[in-house]
Amino acid sequence: MPEEAVPDALPLRLIAVMVLTHTAFTSMRLALTLAVLQQGGSALAVGVIVSLLMVVPVFSSIAIGRWTDRAGHVPAALAGLALIVVGGLVATRQVLPALACGAVLIGSGQAMVQVAIMDAIGQGGGEGAARRFSALSLGFSVSGFFGPILTGLAIDHAGHALAFFTLCLPASAAWLLALRSAPAAARAPATAPRGTAGALWADPRLRAVLLVTALLAMAWDLFTFVMPVHGTRLGLSATAIGTVAGSFAAGCFSIRLVLGRLAARLGERRILWGALTGTAMCYALFPLAGGLPAMAVLAYVIGLFLGSGQPMAMSLLHRSAPAGRSGEVMGVRTVIVSISQTALPLVFGALGAALGTGPVFLAVAAAMGSGMAWVRRSSPR
């Protein structure tokens, strides 16, 4: 049975669902952190609550992908959005056990929506997949900017408890949009031969793209968690560190404005290898940046590279998936990203405390270079 074909009008609706979901998720993630601090929680308590967001997806994402392959994206998306809303409502209780429970529900729901909708956006094949993922990544840039602003306004004007009611609205709107996409996107049950996730990893082409996905996730998490520590050790103010983070976001947004046309001209693989090479070189240079101007310029360039690499990896991942198992492949990818977001902050923090932040940037640059060399040797073109 052929894979589900996504009509031309449908991706915009699916992208809107994912952007609204991402807005709700980023908003609630920040709100959870602020709520724990408001309750007098320690830094350890904040870390535990945030880590709970991605614990369940590590173990459930592959099963969610298989469900998507069998039933289509709509049931998983609707269930995930319902979990996000329920998690937001539970978090209104504003005690640590309720916040922890809310974090588990919110993170689990977001992973379900992400696997299902990204699989659906990639359906239809062809070079259009790169353009659709580019448009989605541009939407992520917008929601990543407005989500924290929405959180701050909601907390300042309604308080922590009522803010979670407000933050449920984007997820509720996404639920209605996902429900409307059901008649146009029904998928027949998959009849492709089934297999294990290990068999997916045994495919050299798919393994190469999954490794690239892991490298990109590692590079993204490095900047998110280590850059503020590096800037603080250099004596930069909070405003200066925020400027560096804003430069990174600006780089991501800038490249994604033209990424669709760039992919059509250069192809996904060239952009992807350029992104990996450029990011590794910038991270090797980052410890040498001793002030705000140099750090801001490097952050902008890193944003350009990573902002272009992730959509191309998503497109190649979908196109490399075996017939009838694209949702499962998206689940494997989500497992990799979830592990990265859960474990790497601890690893980076331990290395930074023992060796300083400079060696951490150099180690990740070396790891990216080694991973790229391994992919080139072990995978078909």
Q: In sequence order, which residues have a C-beta less than 8 Å from that of residue 119 and are 6 or more positions away?
A: 65, 68, 69, 73, 318, 326, 327, 330
User: Looking at residue 238, what is its pLDDT?
Assistant: 63
Residue 174 pLDDT: 94
Residuewise pLDDT in 10s, the chain (381 residues) = 334 444 444 578 888 999 999 889 988 888 888 888 788 876 567 767 877 888 888 888 888 888 888 888 889 999 999 999 999 999 998 888 999 999 999 999 998 998 888 888 877 555 567 777 777 888 887 887 777 778 888 888 888 889 899 999 999 999 998 888 765 444 444 444 556 656 666 677 777 788 888 888 888 877 876 777 777 778 877 677 777 877 888 888 888 888 878 877 887 778 888 888 899 999 999 888 878 889 889 989 998 998 888 888 877 777 777 777 777 777 788 887 777 777 776 676 677 667 777 888 888 888 888 777 766 665 555
Sketch the domain layout of the chain as residue ranges: 10-180, 197-378
pLDDT of residue 201: 66
Tell if the pTM clears 0.85, that is, is over it.
no
Would you state the structure tokens that stand for residue 172, as one six-digit string?
Answer: 């509720």
Distances in whole angstroms, Cα of residue 154 to Cα of each of 26, 37, 82, 289: 13, 16, 21, 37
Check if the beta carbon of residue 85 is closer than 8 Å to that of residue 175.
yes
pLDDT for the residue 8 = 47
pLDDT value at residue 242: 72
**Which pLDDT score is estimated for 43?**
59
CA gap 124, 318 in Å, rounded: 10
Pick the CATH number of 197-378 from 3.30.565.10, 3.40.50.300, 1.20.1250.20, 2.40.50.140: 1.20.1250.20
What local confidence, expressed as pLDDT, does residue 30 receive? 82
* Contacts with 41 (C-beta within 8 Å, 6 or more apart), sequence order: 49, 96
Q: Cα–Cα distances in Å, from 298 out to 217, 278, 370?
A: 18, 11, 22
Long-range contacts of 186-191 (CB under 8 A, 24+ apart): 186/4, 186/72, 186/74, 187/3, 187/4, 187/71, 187/72, 187/73, 188/1, 188/4, 189/1, 189/70, 189/71, 190/1, 190/69, 190/70, 190/324, 190/325, 191/1, 191/324
Out of 3.40.50.300, 3.90.1510.10, 3.30.750.24, 1.20.1250.20, select the CATH number for domain 10-180. 1.20.1250.20
Which helix (H) or strand (E) is 365 found in, with range?
Answer: helix 357-378
Quote the pLDDT of residue 4: 42
Return the closest-CA partner of residue 368 out of 241, 229, 223: 223
